[in-house]
Amino acid sequence: MMKVPRHLFVPKVIESYAYHDCPQQIGEGQTISAPHMVGIMVEKLDLRSGHKVLEVGGGSGYHAAVVAEVVGKKGHVYSVEYIESLAKWGKENIKKCGLDDIVTIIQGDGSKGLLEYAPYDRIFVTCASPDVPPPLLEQLNDKGKLLIPTGGRHYQTLVYYEKRGKKIVKKDYGGCVFVPLRGKYGFRLFS
C-alpha cells in the first residue's frame, strides 16, 4: 500500500484528505474505500505474484493498483466499472502510476463477471450485493477465492468463498458498508 500514491486516486479538491483512514467521495455518488478496508480485503484474498484477478467496481482504480503491486508483472488485474466517466478516470489514474501494463479497466456490468478472461484465481467485489452473483462463482478457478460484501443496501457482511472442486467453503469476515452493486445481479431500487 505504501507504493501506491492514494492522492492520485481522489478528486483534486480533497487531495489533502487522501491519506485519512476513511472512504472519500469520488463523484457520481460513489466512494473510494477506506485504506483499512482495502488492506483487510487484500490480506483476506491471499494474493500471490502471478495471480489473474477480477475486480467488480473499479471506481478510482486505487484498490486495483494495490492489488497490482502484489500480483506483479506476471499477474493481471481486470477491473470492471459500471459508470463510464469513472471507468475513464480510473484508467487515467492507473496510467499515472505506471500500472497500465498490469491493470485493465473495462466499462460494463461486472455483476455478470467478465467471461472474456475467465477463469480467475481471485475475484473481489467493492460494492454491496444482495447475494453472490452466480457468474462470479462460475468464473472462479478451482482453489480460487472470492470476497464480496453481501446483505442489505445499507449494511453488509464481508463474505469469503473458496472453491474446492465441487465444494464451496464460506466464511464471514464481519460487518461493512459499501455502495450498492448495480446491473443484472445488483439492487433494483435506487433512492
Positions 64 through 103 that interact with ligand SAH (CB under 6 A): 80-83, 86
Counting contacts by CB under 6 A, is residue 62 touching ligand SAH? yes
| Strand partners of residue 31 | 25
Q: Which stretch binds ligand SAH (CB under 6 A): 108-116, 142-150, 156-164, 168-176?
A: 108-116
Q: What share of the chain is helix, strand, coil (3-state, %, to 5)?
A: 30, 35, 40
Distance CA 38, CA 66 (A): 8
Catalytic residue annotation: 33
- What part of residues 151-190 is at the interface with ligand SAH (CB under 6 A)? 179, 181-183, 186
Q: Among 59, 113, 149, 151, which residue interacts with ligand SAH (rule: CB under 6 A)?
A: 59
The stretch near ligand SAH (CB under 6 A) out of 45-53, 70-78, 107-115, 144-152 is 107-115
**Residue 183 Cβ, how far from ligand SAH at the closest point, in Å?**
3
In 14-100, alpha helices (H): 35-44, 62-71, 84-96
Is 169 strand, coil or helix?
strand
At closest approach, how far in Å is the CB of 68 from ligand SAH?
12
Integer angstrom CA distances of residue 132 from 2, 126, 145, 187: 31, 12, 13, 12
Count of CB atoms situated within 10 Å of the CB of 181:
26
Residue 144 near ligand SAH by CB under 6 A: no
Q: Which residues bind ligand SAH (CB under 6 A)?
A: 30-33, 56-57, 59-60, 62-63, 80-83, 86, 109-111, 126-127, 179, 181-183, 186
